[in-house]
Every structure is written in structure tokens, then in C-alpha cells.
Chains A and B, each alone.
Chain A
Amino acid sequence: MKKITIDPLTRVEGHGKVTIHLDDAGDVKEARLHIIEFRGFERFILGRPFWEVPVIVQRLCGICPVSHHLAAAKAMDRIVGGEQLTPTAEKMRRLMHYGQIFQSHALHFFHLSSPDLLFGTDGSAASAFAAPREQRHVLAVAKSFPELGRQGILMRKFGQEVIQATAGKKIHGTGAIPGGVNRNLSVEARDHLRKDADQMIRWSKKAVAVARDFTMDHLLEIATFGAFDSNHLSLVRPRDGALELYDGVLRAIDKDGKTLVDGLEDQRYLEALSEEVRPWTYMKFPFLKTLGPQHGWYRVGPLARLNTCRFVPSPEAEAARIEFQAVTHQKPNNVTMAYHWARMIELLHAGEVIRDLLDDADLQGEDLVTQGPRREEAVGIIEAPRGTLIHHYRVDRNDQVTMCNLIVSTTHNNEPMNQAIMRVAQDTLAKKPEITEGLLNGIEVAVRAYDPCLSCATHAMGKMPLQVQVVDAHGAVAAERIRSHELDAP
């Protein structure tokens, strides 16, 4: 079997190495996205007092610290018996979380993925909508679309300001504590955010339009590019199956929309999910137990969430979802590149939720913390920008953490990213073990659609750029190419 290696991936959050394995006939047999950073955070956290955890776990990531903060806080709520939050605490956390969704989606779209969408085709069939190399960065977007670039900057800034107002800081805040929050929203902060909320929604609608038009204009290419059928998993609102990003029950469907899991409470996630370990990567492979590792893998994130939910509980985003779903005739959308459109619909939804929450007087309430009977084990699940995020802890009688398991969004999407890479490689290689620019770019475009954070997935920090190798049927490296941080580097 031959193997192709691509290293590093650019414009994804972390460092990836890709190997493409060929069979004796020279056809692509398998693709592997290797995560080569050491996974150590679950060990690092052991022995720490449980109340420190919501603050410490934010060090996992500089982009989605709020997601880790809140997932850990939700678990610790149960440890202190305080999972029935006061209205002020629940809404402060919800506001913080939707601020996080807003800033992260805006940042990914404008900073990382918009060059793929805005600069059209490079003319090759294999990467029909990949931007030309010299335009594959945010500076080209800023130069060609300065107003759009400025909107992206200000949308990210707005989301960060929501986080700062609710968590105390834009990065590594302390707003959520076991059983509640340590602050309410000041009237000054509320008014400061309120005056910009409508503008954010208007700009979000424009971003939805960019992603929609890109998708519709390239529907034929997109339908096959890195595309494959899969199951889908996310939280949904318990009573009606609505899109729910802060707190809900697990729901999974198959490629046709058939329900596989429904109404599963977060504390019982292990009844439905398991993780497989493979020797060539530190990132695990989660799967639905009922289907097993071979057929039970699933997608998470914006695309999965729009597939699993019954509706989006905000009017503008729901209208956008209906338009989105019409493309697949109300069936689940299994197209990798549709993540971008789905992500922008969620951006719009987050903007609407923030605007509506800012009008809620509970945010200025004084009842911030609650508690009840103490527990020794708890799970916190949240829908982070990139997908379902699971924090699971055990705490002993001395208040020390004795077990920690984190299943981050990028880990859930591990097999889907491998599948996407394999499809791109199958379409591009055509029995030639050659790593062309089209293959490199196609792999990056496909992986980027999932917005992976490889730093989170391996629980390590750092600048981590992509390496691609082609490996033949006998394990020999037939081709290799390494892409550095510098886009202009060979």
C-alpha cells in the first residue's frame, strides 16, 4: 500500500499531519489525519480542587476558552448540587456562551474560511472552488472586500465584548462558578452591547448570504467535494427539539434523518457513546455504541446541529434554516462544504439570542448562586462553536478531582475529517502518487470546513501547522510535502 503525507495544514487551529494510503492497484484506500501533539490535560487536572477547574480548563484553548469554562462549570454545578441555576445565573451563562459562538463563528468565517468562498475557482476540477494560492489569507479578503473585512473584525470584537461583560475578561474569565455566576450584567454593559446588537444581526445576515450564494453557485462541485453520508449528533432543547447550544439533551440521527438517539440526558452520555483508540494518533474516535465503531461515527458542529434540530428558535435564523434545508428537500445535509452556510446561520441565531437576552431584566438580578446535595461525579455538555463538548469529572471527599475525561468537538469530528480527506484524495490522485497543489489545497479546504481545533483535540497549546505523505501498499513513503506557517514558503 502506498502512502501520501501532507504536513502542515494551514488555516486550521492546530497542527495536522495527513497520510494517504494506497492499495496495490494505486487507488486510495484510506486517509489518516494524525494528531501528533501529546494529550495530557486530563492528567494535569487530577488532584486540583474542583472549584478551580472551570478556570483552569480554559487554558486548553485561546479561541474557545468560554466553552471549556462553561462545560466544566456545568459539571461542577452538579458536584455542588446546584444544577438548577437561578434565572440570573442561567441567563448570564447563556449570554456568555452565545457571545462565544458569535465571536468564534465570525473569526472562523472571516479569518480562515472566507478566502475559500470569496475568491472563486482556480480552474482545476479537483479543487473547483479553492482560492488561488496568493489569495488564500485574510489580508486578501481585507484588500478585496474591505467592508466585509471590517464587519468581520467588529463582529468578532462584539462577541469578545459580550464575553468580557459576562465573564470579566475576554480570555480566561471567571464568570461561571460551581452553582452559578459571580456577577450579573451591569446596566452600563447592557446598554453598551444593546446599541450594537441590531447591527450585528444585519451583518450576520450578510454573512449568511455570502455562504449561501457560494454554496448555491457551486452546488454541483460541492455535492461531491469531500462529501459522504454520516450520522449526526448534537444537543437539542428537551421539550421540542429546537436548536440549543447551552443546555439540552442528546439527539442523533442517521444520514436519512432516522432517529438513533433522542432525549438522552447529558449525565447518561456513556450509554450512547464510546471512544476507540487507534495507534497512529492521539485523537480518539467516538462512536454510537448501538452501531459500533465502523458505522457509529458521526458529525458534530453547525452542520450536524442544523440536521438534528427540529427548528431554530429565532425568526431570522429559522428562515435561513428553512432555505438551507430546502436544498436537500428537508433531509439531512451530508455535504462537507455546507458547514460554512450552517455556521453563518448559527452566527445569525447567536446574534438574535444575544439581542433578546439583553432585554431580559433577569440579567440584572442579584440571586447568583445555588447549591444542594453534594455529588462525586458529574458531566457537563455544551455545544461549543465547533460541536458537542463533553466534560466528565469525579471529585473525592477532599474536593480533589480524581478523574477527568474530555471529549472535545474536534475529536467527535475525527472520523468525518478522515473521510473528507479520503474523498478529496480519491478524486484528486487518479493513481498518481503525486502531492499537487490541488491536492494540498483540497485537503485543507475540506478539513477547514469542520473548523477543527487541533490544539483542543490534543489538549496542547502551540502553533501547529500540515504534512502530507503518500504511502504505498508496502508502507514505503512514495511522496511527501510539508507546508510551513508561511504561506509563501515552498
Chain B
Amino acid sequence: MSSTHPDDHRASRHDTDPTDRNADPKPEADPAIGTAPAIGTAPAIGTAPAIGTAPAMDTAPAMDTAPAIDAAPTKRVLVLGFGNPGRADDGLGPRFVERVEALGLRGVTTSVDYQLNIEHADLVAQHDIVLFVDAATDAEEPFYLRTLAPASSAPTVSSHHVPPAVIVSLARDCYDARPRAFVVGIRAHDLDRFHEGLTEEAEFNLERALAHVIPLLAGERDFP
């Protein structure tokens, strides 16, 4: 049994290896840690923008036939939709992303998942601007676009779903990445049925949200 005092685990911000029981105050970096993430092929932050490509494991490639619309070339934008398309309007996020992906916007990466989890911090950290797109039941009609600050506490008790603000916070603390983050909340009306397809009201709201957000993604207008 080690004689190390329990408080030794209370490491400082820079004491990054809790497995090293006799760590020097400035330990040598693990050559495997601190390098670019080994998983995934997206470029490290600060390298050339990922134009027209998407991380291999997260999205399908953009449609070849879609017209390319120029975006500001220096910004890497991620549109991350989440929700369950099998629960009616909960599919708003994925549908939004589907529509954006079909446009083939340069510099815009898309990704879809059922729910957010910690690994999305890795994806978020590789972009300059991130839009989280979700169905919203308590939002104003037809949608809202809000800036998102990193979470200061953890408003979650389960790993089944991690809120966007926590993802942004993890990207900041684990990757030293500070993308501008936004939430697009599209008003939903039916999340209870086991049904694929949006309600008429949600379809209407989706169109309004797309009409507002696409010019931002295309670089025709600036993000707020």
C-alpha cells in the first residue's frame, strides 16, 4: 500500500498525469499524449481548413452534384445535428444537417448523431465555429439562434446525453480549443410518437431556420 497522501490526487491544472505517483513538477510529456489526436483524420487546430470534407467516422461526404457556395476560407465550420429521427420532430436536427450537407458548402463540415456525448468534444475542438442543431419544445416559433458559452458546472447526471455547453467546455479544457459556439433550437411539436417524419409545423419551422442560417454558413452574412 502506498504511503502517498490522498490529497496528492488534488493535482494542479498542469499536473496532468495522475498515474505518475512520483511526478516531477514539470514531468516529461508522454510522447503519445499531447500530440495530435491519433483517432480520426481531421486536421489539427491551426492547420489548413477542412474544405468540403468531413471526418470519416462521423458524416457522409457531401453530395457531388450540389453546387459549391464559397464560404470564408479561413473558418472551419461544424454543423452538428442531434436527435432521433424515429421520434417524429426529434429528427429536426438530423434533417437540418441533411439539408445543409446537400448544399456542399465549402469549409462546412456536417455531423449527425442520436445524442451528444463526450467524444463530440474532439470534433468540436477541430473547428472555429460550431452550430449545435436540435429540436426544441420550449422555444419560440419558429426557431432560435443563440450563442453558447462553455458550461461552468455539469448540468448532467447521466452519460446518455451531454449538453452542448459541456461539450464546448470539454473542448476548451481538454484541447485548449475555443470555437465560437451557437445553438439552433427549432421548435418541435411532437416528440412522443415512434414515427419517422416531421409534423407540418416542424417542417415549416425547419425551412425558416434554414433560410436564416444558410447565408451565415455561406459567408453571405456574419454570425452574430
The interface bits of chain A over 131-170 (1 if a CB of B lies within 8 angstroms of the residue's CB, else 0) are: 0000011111011111111111110111011001000001
State which of B2, B17, B122, B154 has its C-beta within 8 Å of the C-beta of A216: B2
CB-CB < 8 A to A199: which residues of B? 32, 38
Q: Is A414 engaged at the interface, CB distance under 8 Å to the other chain?
A: no
Cβ distance A315 to chain B, nearest Cβ, rounded Å:
19
Asked if residues B39 and A139 are in contact (CB atoms below 8 Å), the reply is: no
> Using Cβ atoms and an 8 Å threshold, which residues of chain B touch A107?
117-118, 159
Docked complex: A14-63 residues within 8 A CB-CB of B: 14, 61-63
Report whether A139 and B6 are in contact in the complex, using a CB–CB cutoff of 8 Å.
no
CB-defined contacts of B10 to chain A, threshold 8 Å: 119-120, 144
Kindly state whether residue A255 has any CB partner on chain B within 8 Å: no
Residues B155 and A164 in contact, CB atoms below 8 Å apart = no
- Which listed residue, A111, A149, A192, touches B173 by the CB 8 Å rule? A149
**B114, CB-defined interface residue at 8 Å:** yes
Are A157 and B7 touching (Cβ within 8 A)? Answer: no
Determine the interface band of chain B, counting residues with CB < 8 A from chain A.
Answer: 35 or more
Chain B contacts for A145, CB-based, 8 A: 11, 15-16, 18
Q: With CB as the reference atom, state the residue of chain B lying closest to A149.
A: B174
A158 — nearest CB in chain B belongs to which residue?
B39
Question: A271 an interface residue at 8 Å Cβ cutoff?
Answer: no
Q: How many residues of A contact B (CB 8 A)?
A: 71
Of B8, B11, B33, B114, which contacts A151 at CB under 8 A?
A: B33
Taken residue by residue from 119 to 153, chain B's Cβ proximity to chain A (1 for < 8 Å, 0 otherwise) reads as 10110000000000000000000000000000111
The distance from the CB of B42 to the nearest CB of chain A, in whole angstroms, is: 12
Decide if B57 touches A213 in the complex (CB within 8 Å).
Answer: no
Q: Which residues of B have CB within 8 Å of A171?
A: 113-115
20 pairs from A and B in contact (CB 8 Å cutoff)? A11-B158, A13-B159, A118-B11, A120-B6, A144-B12, A144-B13, A146-B16, A146-B173, A147-B34, A147-B174, A153-B122, A154-B38, A154-B122, A160-B57, A161-B57, A170-B57, A192-B56, A199-B32, A465-B157, A487-B157
B interface residues (Cβ-Cβ under 8 A, vs A): 1-2, 4, 6-13, 15-19, 21, 30, 32-34, 37-40, 56-57, 113-115, 117-119, 121-122, 151-162, 166, 169-170, 173-176
Q: 3 closest Cβ contacts across the A-B interface?
A: A137-B154, A157-B119, A142-B173
Binding site for B on A (CB under 8 A): 8-14, 61-63, 107-108, 110-112, 117-121, 129, 136-140, 142-154, 156-158, 160-161, 164, 170-172, 192, 195-196, 199, 202-203, 206, 209-210, 213-214, 216-219, 455, 463-465, 485-488
